[in-house]
Every structure is written in C-alpha cells, then in structure tokens.
Amino acid sequence: MLTLPKFEEASEIVKKVTQETKLVYSKYFSEQTGNKVYLKPENMQLTGAYKLRGAYYKISTLSEEERAKGLITASAGNHAQGVAYAAKCYGAKAVIVMPTTTPLIKVERTQSYGAEVVLYGDVYDEACAKAYELAAEHGYTFIHPFDDLTVATGQGTIAMEVIQELPLVDYILVPIGGGGLATGVSTLAKLLKPNIKVIGVEPSGAACMKASFEKGEVTTVSPVSTIADGTAVQTPGTKIFPYVRQNLDEIITVDDDELIVAFLDMVENHKMIVENSGLLTVAALKHLDVKGKKIVSILSGGNMDVITMSSVIQNGLIQRDRIFTVSVLLPDKPGELVRVSQVIANENGNVIKLDHNQFFTTNRSAAVELRITMEAFGTDHKNRIVKALEEAGYTPKIVRPNL
C-alpha cells in the first residue's frame, strides 16, 4: 500500500476536505534552538487535527456495501472526528467508541458531525476492544485509527505538502501514539528524500513505540499516564510497525512538564491553541543536538477543552516562576500586612491572592502565617522579590501555589 502512486492518489483525494496548512516559520523556536524551525499547523484543520486525512482517504477506498453497513472506530477524539466528518460526507452511519477520559469538547464535536458516541474504558486500548465487539455484533466496517496502511497513507500526505513547500527540509518531527501518522510521514518522506531525518516523539508516560523499538517487536506498556491524551496508547500497531522501524531515525520521549511550558510558548509566541499531543514535537526541539538545520514540527491537533487549557496555563506560569507563593511569619499586630505589601510593591510584584492564618501557632502575638501568591516576570524577578523580603527582616519560604 505505501507506494508513491498511492500517496499521490491520497494527496489529491484529501484535498476535498482538508484546509491548506502552510508552514509557519517560528522566530522564537529558531532562536531558542539555533535552527530554522517551521510549524505544520494541522491543528487548523476543519476537525481540529490531521486525522481527517486518513479517515477520509480510507472511507473513499471502501465499497458502497462496506459503507452501507455503517462505520465504527475507537478513538481518544481526533480520529473520531475525522471518521464522523468523513462518514457524513459519504452519507454513512458512524459509531465511535471513546475512552471515558476523553475531553468533553472532543465528544461534543464528534456528535456534532452526526456520529453515535459510546464512552467505554479508561484508555484507548479498552475502547478499541469494545469497538471490535460492537463491529462483530452489528456488522459494522471497522476503521482503525492507526494500524491500517490505507489510513497511514492518508496521514502521510502531510509529508508531501511539507517537502513541496520546503524542499530543503532536514528534519521532520512527528508525534507518535499508535504510529499511523509516523508511518505515513516517515515512509513518504524517505521515498521523496532518502537522506531526510524523521524523528518520532512520544510522551514518556506512554512510550509504547520506543519500548517496541528497543525490543525489536510490538510491545505493550502498562499503565500509561500522560496529559497527552491523544497519544495515550498502550500498544502500537502491528501492521505499521515494520514501516516505522524501517523509516524512523530516532524516537524522543518528553515529559508532561515539558508539554505544559510548550503550550505556554505556543500561545504567547504564535497565538495558537495546540493540544498536548500536538505539542510533543515542539517540546522535543530542545532534545535535538543539531544546529543550523531546517526542522519541521508537525502540530497534530488543537482539540483541547477549556478546563484542561486553564490548568495547563496555570501550571505553565508556575513552572516559569511567573506565578509563585511565599509564606512569611508576621507579628499579629496592625500595619504588618501594609509593610509586607509595600516591600512587594517596591519590586513591582503583583499580589493576586492572600491567605492569612492566625492559628499557625498557639502564640499569635509571636507569629501568624501570611501566604502571598503573586505574579512576576520570571525567575530573576521572583528572586529579587524574595531577596527584598529577606532584607526587610522576613524569612520567606517558597511554597506550592494553591490557585
């Protein structure tokens, strides 16, 4: 299946439903890494992710009889929306099994395309088992989110667009969950440019492909734990594994904390919302030991619910020392709060929350605890504020903010 003619065919077919996602040059990440970094914003697709490519191409290859049976798949959200939208285009019924942990926005968007959603299991693999069960029971045609060479061919059309727009690209960074995107992108990229480097990126809490590479065979990791829900897969695809193993040059893993600050960087520097799985390739940039290269990071999706977004932003600000909390002990007498506040104001700190605990000790006249949560411009500014409090006679202690 994974031949140049098939990729060319898929590239023409997916144009019927995809947006043109031109590369975005990132001055910020280029300066951070010493390379020329470009972003492939698949988060701007109609369904919010690249998955529409593989789903639509796959369904286009089915017979009328197969489509008439109804379509079913399992997905953490992005493939779900791709199948739902593509099925709607072809007038076919779609049933989507999603993990119970799927963000609400992905569930609602999938339903908005006319699909029937079944919530089952805590992780993708459990939802997938349920989807196979329903397919056998009702005769539905199963559309696998990643372990399908036709689906992978559709996903690989991203590489065609990248190389057409940036022929001298040196590296492509691609997120990995089950491996379908990595299969399509790496295989086509190597067909078009044999010397190109294609790097897969996984969350360290769900690094099933890296484990499979190290063992030389498909390997299950359990349990999986990551905020990158779209790549929280326990077992990579068996059909696509040989292609990934042959065409990927390396696999990098990144921690959840790195995704949090990457989200903040993307919002502030590119004004783009990218989901945690889509940020894997951004967080991986600093892990590359290269300089002066042209690098493309694929932003695979942007479907993130507002509650998750809020949590990620808050944690990112805390990690960057732009929000922090200090605990200081004060005599319980009038004027002390004003005195502390003036010290902070003199250093341009902005107080956003105060917690005053009069019962910190039994001797209130000796000390009460004041916890001050404030905004700063970063680590240097935070340190200046703490030093000013020390010079004013206090003993500030940094504690975890409770926002």
Q: How far apart are CA 56 and CA 15, in angstroms?
A: 10
For residue 60, give the nearest of 118, 18, 106 by alpha carbon.
Answer: 18
Active-site residue identified among 36, 40, 51, 239? 51
What distances in angstroms separate CA 209 from CA 48, 87, 233, one per listed residue? 24, 30, 9
Runs of H (alpha helix) within 217-363: 241-247, 256-270, 280-283, 306-319, 336-346
Query: For 207, which DSSP code?
Result: -
The yes-or-no answer on residue 300 being catalytic is: yes
For residue 344, give the nearest of 324, 360, 364, 320 by alpha carbon.
Answer: 324
Structure tokens at 271: 């004004």
For residue 314, give the nearest of 303, 305, 302, 322 by alpha carbon.
Answer: 322
Structure tokens at 354: 């105060």
Structure tokens at 24: 């975005």
First-to-last alpha carbon distance for the chain, in angstroms, is: 52
Residue with tokens 């970063």: 378
Structure tokens at 299: 């932003």
The torsion of the CA quartet 334, 339, 341, 344, rounded to 10 degrees, works out to -160
Q: How far apart are CA 44 and CA 50, in angstroms?
A: 9
Helix, strand, or coil here: 353?
strand
Query: Is 78:90 a contact under the CB 8 Å cutoff?
Result: no
For residue 155, give the nearest of 79, 92, 63 by alpha carbon.
Answer: 79
Active-site residue identified among 26, 75, 186, 300? 300
Query: For 140, which DSSP code?
Result: P
Cα-only R_g, the chain: 25
For residue 146, give the nearest of 156, 137, 136, 138 by alpha carbon.
Answer: 156
Structure tokens at 285: 């940039």
Residues classed as catalytic: 51, 300
